[in-house]
Amino acid sequence: MERNLDLIREELLEALKNKNYLKIKDIFNNYAPIDIAESLRDIDEDDADIIKAIIPIFRLVKPSITSEFFSELEPAFQEKIISSLNNEEVASLVHESSNDELADFIEEWPANVVDKVLKNASKDQRNDINKLLGYKDDTAGSIMTTEYITLLDSYTVAQAFQIIRSIGRTAETIYTLFIKNKKFDLVGVLNLDDLVFAEPDQNIIDIANKNFLTVNVNTDQEEVAQLFKRYDLNAIAVLNEDKKLTGIITIDDIVDVIEAENSEDIEAMANVAPLDDSYMNTPVFRLAFKCIPWLIVLMILNIGSIFLQDQFQFLIGTLTAISVFLTTLCDTGGNSGSQSSTLIIRGLATKDFELKDYFKVLWKEFRVALIVSTITSVFTFGFCMFMFGVNIINIPSDFKPIAGGEPEYLVWITLSGTVTISIFVTILLSKIIGASLPFLISKVKLDPAVVTGPLITTIMDLITLTTYFLLLRGSFNIFWGNYF
């Protein structure tokens, strides 16, 4: 199962150098086009000799295979190849390529390459590509393909097979077939397996699913993916604004959508702006500018907690040891809040629950929060006492109550107790807020994956620090009021 891309590259370059055309054909028979294309990933696309050497592939190997190979190359590599092929070769490559892939590439190529491709496409194909280019990113229209099979509702099973056999090879899938009536309305969806199981003289509309799902060209691709997952679809019809069939989306494109949407959510959770492409394909400067904005925004959002800490400087001046808990307290609040918000964001994204289930989720999360905060704060008390006991944290001997003869363990207990109650309050609130924010953010139509993280950290910092400092001031007053 291990693919040895280095070996493929070596074999291929060797064969190309020696003009061993039999061997080249052999390589394309034995390896998947994506593996061959990827084996060339490290090659310098500005190396004219390499490009020149590769061109014969497009003359020797079947266009159905070279088009797949071509589609897996880097855009810069594709450009060079298009420029080196003659018009006839470009036409054959374009003919075999699927329109939705061409539309995607065209957005990356320079104008002269795009011109050469469109000039060599058939009029139909050109129209389809232009149509696909018109849809907004991340909509059903932008991921659909226009190469599908439609059958008339009056056909028999035998007639359907005839059509499929004659034009099926140009379609993206023959596993799902679309049935139109004479008015060009979509009236049924037929799976190839139903066709196989049917009798030749049956009418296709009788065995078709007339209760089928469709999406609109503007439907968000994430919603389309949800439908595929929920109903185990193989393909879905895409309708335009006039409710006419205008394209289809197949499961293999949806697998890519699911991965892309997941990457986007994961990037958002790590406060990285969506990359739009893989890490390797994203240039250094673009990567840096995906990271910088959030780092700066998060720093600015800290203004509140900085101001708050400044207001309580006098407490830290009284006993510097209280400052050593600041980072741990804020970390715990942020961690526990993001545990909850992440579970809720994921639940909403995978449709485990919906916006209307808010109170059910809140009640559940409240009970979870009670358990987590109780157990964690019991631990916290022991943890703090331990750190005092083994001198990881020291109370300066010039702390007025100590200098005045109060026992040190009373200071330990007071500080540990304050930290413990702060942790209890922080975890309880962080889970409730963490469960609520994603609902609120979805309700106002923002992306909860992007907005929740920074918001919850900021809010929790403020709550945690306020609780901690107020409790400290209170316990200082109660226990050692007469010393200050």
Within residues 419-458, the interface with its own copies by CB under 8 A covers 427, 457
CB 85 within 8 A of CB 49: no
CB 124, CB 224: distance < 8 Å:
no
What's the angle, vertex CA 178, arms to CA 69 and CA 198, rounded to 5?
A: 105
Regarding 332 and contact with its own copies (CB under 8 A), the answer is yes
The span from the CA of 26 to the CA of 76, in Å, is: 26
Q: Between 90 and 160, name the residue whose CB sits nearer to its own copies.
A: 160
| CA distances in angstroms from 336 to 104, 455, 462, listed in the order given | 41, 14, 15
Which range of residues in 48-56, 377-385, 436-444, 468-476 is near its own copies by CB under 8 A? 377-385
Q: Which residues from 213-242 bind its own copies, rule CB under 8 A? A: 213-215, 219, 223, 227-232
Q: Which is nearer to its own copies, 340 or 436 (CB)?
A: 340
Between residues 164 and 385, which has the closer beta carbon with respect to its own copies?
164
Find the part of the chain contacting its own copies (CB under 8 A) among 90-98, 100-108, 282-290, 403-411: 282-290
Interface residue with its own copies among 56, 274, 347, 417 (CB under 8 A) is: 347
Closest approach, Cβ 438 to its own copies, in A, equals: 12
Q: How far apart are CA 232 and CA 227, in angstroms?
A: 8
DSSP string covering 336-366, please? HHHHHHHHHHHHHHTTSS-GGGHHHHHHHHH
Task: Please say whether the dihedral angle defined by the alpha carbons of residues 30, 34, 39 and 43, taken in this order, is positive or negative.
Answer: positive
DSSP-derived secondary structure for 358-401: HHHHHHHHHHHHHHHHHHHHHHHHHHHHHHHHTTSS---TTSHH
Size of the site for its own copies (CB under 8 A): 115
Nearer Cβ to its own copies, position 55 or 387? 387
Comparison of 93 and 225: residue with beta carbon closer to its own copies? 225
Q: Among 116-124, 135-143, 240-248, 268-276, which window interacts with its own copies (CB under 8 A)?
A: 268-276
CB proximity list for 198: less than 8 A, separation 6 or greater: 157, 204, 207
Contact between 251 and 228 (Cβ < 8 Å): yes
* Binder of its own copies out of 7, 266, 410, 446 (CB under 8 A): 266
Residues 6+ apart with CB under 8 A from 35: 3, 5, 8
Q: Which stretch binds its own copies (CB under 8 A): 96-104, 200-208, 345-353, 406-414?
A: 345-353
Give the three-state DSSP class for 416.
Answer: helix
Asked if residues 180 and 242 have their Cβ atoms less than 8 Å apart, the reply is no
Q: List Cβ neighbours of 375 (8 Å cut-off, separation of 6 or more).
A: none
Nearest approach, Cβ of residue 52 and its own copies (Å):
27
62, 122, 379, 446: residue in contact with its own copies (rule CB under 8 A):
379
Q: With CB under 8 A as the contact rule, which of the stretches 74-82, 125-133, 141-149, 280-288 interacts with its own copies?
A: 280-288
Interface residue with its own copies among 17, 18, 19, 30 (CB under 8 A) is 30
Enumerate residues 157-216 that contact its own copies by CB under 8 A. 161, 164-165, 168-169, 174-175, 192-193, 196-197, 211, 213-215
7, 48, 60, 300: residue in contact with its own copies (rule CB under 8 A) = 300
- Interaction of residue 326 with its own copies, rule CB under 8 A: yes
Binder among 7, 48, 60, 324 for its own copies (CB under 8 A): 324
Any contact of residue 291 with its own copies (CB under 8 A)?
A: yes
Q: What share of the chain is helix, strand, coil (3-state, %, to 5)?
A: 70, 5, 25
User: Of 50, 118, 133, 275, which one interacts with its own copies (CB under 8 A)?
Assistant: 275
Residue position matching structure tokens 């939705």: 100
302 to 321, contacts with its own copies by CB under 8 A? 302-303, 305-307, 309-310, 313-314, 316-317, 320-321
CB of 276 to its own copies, least distance (A): 13
Residue identified by tokens 């050593």 is 324
Tell me whether residue 18 or residue 394 sits nearer to its own copies (CB atom): 394
Handedness of CA 265, 271, 272, 278 (dihedral sign): negative
The residues in 391-410 that bind its own copies, with binding defined as CB under 8 A, are 392-394, 396
Question: Judged by CB under 8 A, which of 372, 455, 459, 471 binds its own copies?
Answer: 372
Residues in the chain: 484
